[in-house]
Homo-oligomer: A and B are copies of this chain.
Amino acid sequence: MFSVLCAHELATISDNKSCTLYKKGQILFHEGTRPLGIFCINSGKVKVYKIGTDGKEQIIRIAGQGDLLGYKAMLAEEYYPVSAETLEDCTICFLSKHNFLETLNESSDLNQRIVKQVCQEHGMLVDEVTNQAQKSVRERFAMALLKLKDTYGLDGHEDGPVEINLTREDLANLVGTATETLIRLLHEFKEDGMLETQGRKIRIIDSRQLVKAARMM
């Protein structure tokens, strides 16, 4: 994201950011609080979620390496609409509101890049709403797995198959279903040869078939 900046601007950010090691399960920010800066994930995975009326988590996305968090609420001048919690030990940089806005002011390139990013994310959410409203749980689960494959694929330890490492509950809250339903579907997918499981870990074998199951065209 910051690749559009010139050397000088990058240096400013570097000087002002603070990099921290977060343990698994720590909260970066809480829904309903005021944004004080932005987070950039150096390594690890973070779940971004919202609490629904009856206390159930709805996971909006799983963020990974290179993802920027918390800037949209800041630019909207609103409280965070979501919370962010680490799913593993993470290294995450923090840049204060002041420094971020200053950099943003000085670089119209960065500005453009951010606008583009937000607009793209908006488009993705429009898709998400449509899918949530019209697709079956089975289809949504298949889509979620394909997205996670991308997210977890970036870790790229080797060129080996991607391993998704989330609790069943988190998976269910990402898809928007009950944990039990998700487990049953996982079974089905396993029987159909689309994936393998090893304890918590899910390894995708047949993406092609998942695409079909998701009816993405």
Could you tell me which A residues sit within 8 Å of B by CB distance? 50, 52-54, 56, 58, 60, 72-73, 75-78, 81-82, 105, 108, 111, 114-116, 118-123, 125-135, 176, 215-217
Contact = CB atoms under 8 A, between A and B. Distances in A.
B50 A126 contact: yes
Given A125-B122, A127-B50, A133 B132 contact: yes
Copies assembled: 2
Chain A residues touching B, majority SS: helix
Contact of A176 (B119, B120, B134): B134
Nearest to A177: B133
A89 B217 CA distance: 34
A215 B76 CA distance: 25
Nearest to A140: B133
Nearest to A175: B133
